[in-house]
A and B are shown apart, each in its own frame.
Chain A
């Protein structure tokens, strides 16, 4: 009886969590694609979370997972729209044939972003570069605080927030170039 209640509570909280997630995903996607398409996309994400990741219940698992799925779905949506020629009509004799290597579009996009990121990094202040390097070494903010000798962890949070903001500005306001 008690375990049933816990299960119900868990199920209820998961439903609630997914409901909120859906709301966020729809709003995010609708700011980039059409509303009905955004709702379809959110629905597909939730179906995937339900069918394939039904065992995950914690927010710390579900939210990053949904972020990743949304990203992939958005990219797939754009690719599909481009294939259909919704934005750009390409003459049939200029259509590029599909290659057999791993997704050249994603590879090119990542290559481009990497180049922009490296260029932006070279313009960052020394402290920001150091902080970023420490993060990439896998250190937590608490460990970074020790290395940099900051008085409190909030100082590190603030530094990182400002450095991230500056880096994002150096990259033109977004990590990826919107297409």
Chain B
């Protein structure tokens, strides 16, 4: 008997089903075949178990019980479904982990289109005036990987009805008169150029060009100060003691402000200190407030408010509530 043939006798060893000749053949093969010897050695555990009368009886009872319909049909195989369920669960988990690790995590605000289109104010013709570079019409901007929970609906964006004080007052109707130096944060040359273009455009009466914009208008992410004093998107969730600020990106020009919720006194303006918000140009990031927010053991609630600079939408400020706390991604 060859080793392969003898191997087929293995199943009879533990149950003591082998004849003397079969045993001899199996043992002789095992003596010359280490793999078979190892397999035989492992069968000792089963042999021991089946040599125990109560255990043997229990196994026999289990065999006498009708099988749990372990048919060969693929749909009735538990392991197959278990494997599939495991694979799906693993895939979902991977997606969740990847998406939760994607930085920055934006929260986006969206404006509903106006109920009825309002005709734009006529622009007075000034042929003698030098051509002012018209601001590029803000295009609906794609929000990178916005998580479902992070997107607030229009209803959520409405300011609270009664409990909380109203957001900052609407902007001045003539933004051209706003002193830029007061609230502008000179982030970079591009930003300054964009604000300059914006001021020119607003003074030319081009407000309302984004009145029917449907893209997310307000996005933000958390940035953390490192040891060198620079701010960057953290790889981990904030911890108590971290110094953080908000990087805010508006798709439309407007006045940005940040308020902090005080349990005793409602919302209190945190930034800027003056009534006027920070004038921001479309799609230019602003990092606010000036002084970093210290992450504490308890959660702190903030409210970002963007009052659109175009006069037609002045009555509908955008608000996004932000919660900053240990281990919490806003």
Residues of A within 8 A of B (CB): 17, 20-21, 24, 27-28, 31, 59-60, 63-64, 67-68, 70-71, 110, 113-114, 117-118, 121-126, 129, 132-133, 135-142, 144, 154, 157-158, 160-161, 163-164, 174-176
Cβ-defined contact, A121 with B63, below 8 A: yes
Determine the chain A residues whose CB is within 8 A of the CB of B7 once the complex forms: 161
Closest to B28 in A: A59
Closest chain-A Cβ to B35's Cβ sits at a distance in Å of 10
A59-B31, A114-B55, A136-B59 given; A71·B44 CB < 8 A: yes
Closest chain-B Cβ to A94's Cβ sits at a distance in Å of 29
CA A93 – CA B11 in complex, angstroms? 45
A136-B50, A161-B10, A164-B10 given; A124·B67 CB < 8 A: yes
Closest to B5 in A: A157
Which of B32, B50, B59 has most chain A Cβ within 10 Å?
Answer: B59
Closest to B23 in A: A60
Determine the chain B residues whose CB is within 8 A of the CB of A110 once the complex forms: 48-49, 52, 55
Closest chain-A Cβ to B89's Cβ sits at a distance in Å of 20
Interface of B: prevailing SS: helix
Determine the chain B residues whose CB is within 8 A of the CB of A176 once the complex forms: 42, 45
Determine the chain A residues whose CB is within 8 A of the CB of B37 once the complex forms: 24, 27-28
CA A68 – CA B52 in complex, angstroms? 15
Determine the chain B residues whose CB is within 8 A of the CB of A123 once the complex forms: 67-68, 70, 78-79
Determine the chain B residues whose CB is within 8 A of the CB of A174 once the complex forms: 42
CA A160 – CA B23 in complex, angstroms? 15
Closest chain-B Cβ to A97's Cβ sits at a distance in Å of 26
Closest to B57 in A: A136
For A122, give its contact among B11, B22, B58, B67 (CB under 8 Å). B67
Closest chain-B Cβ to A78's Cβ sits at a distance in Å of 13
A28-B37, A161-B10, A164-B10 given; A59·B58 CB < 8 A: no
Number of A-B residue pairs at CB separation under 8 A = 131
Determine the chain A residues whose CB is within 8 A of the CB of B16 once the complex forms: 138
A129-B67, A141-B12, A164-B10 given; A114·B59 CB < 8 A: yes
Which residues, 82 to 115 on B, are CB-close (under 8 Å) to A?
none
Determine the chain B residues whose CB is within 8 A of the CB of A64 once the complex forms: 27
Cβ-defined contact, B15 with A135, below 8 A: yes
B9 at the interface (CB under 8 A from A): yes
Interface of A: prevailing SS: helix
Determine the chain A residues whose CB is within 8 A of the CB of B44 once the complex forms: 67-68, 70-71
Closest to A164 in B: B11
Cβ-defined contact, B68 with A161, below 8 A: no
Cβ-defined contact, B70 with A122, below 8 A: yes
Closest chain-A Cβ to B22's Cβ sits at a distance in Å of 7
Annotate B20-55 by CB proximity to A: 1 below 8 A, 0 otherwise.
101110011011101001101111111011101001
Cβ-defined contact, B49 with A142, below 8 A: no
Closest chain-B Cβ to A147's Cβ sits at a distance in Å of 12
Cβ-defined contact, B49 with A132, below 8 A: no
Q: Which 6 residue pairs across A and B have the least CB separation, nearest first?
A: A135-B15, A164-B11, A157-B8, A160-B11, A133-B63, A161-B8
CA A94 – CA B79 in complex, angstroms? 39
B118 at the interface (CB under 8 A from A): no
Which of B31, B40, B62 has most chain A Cβ within 10 Å?
Answer: B62
Determine the chain B residues whose CB is within 8 A of the CB of A163 once the complex forms: 11
Closest chain-A Cβ to B321's Cβ sits at a distance in Å of 49
Determine the chain B residues whose CB is within 8 A of the CB of A71 once the complex forms: 41, 44-45, 48
For A133, give its contact among B50, B64, B70, B78 (CB under 8 Å). B64
Determine the chain B residues whose CB is within 8 A of the CB of A160 once the complex forms: 8, 11-12
B172 at the interface (CB under 8 A from A): no
Cβ-defined contact, B41 with A121, below 8 A: no
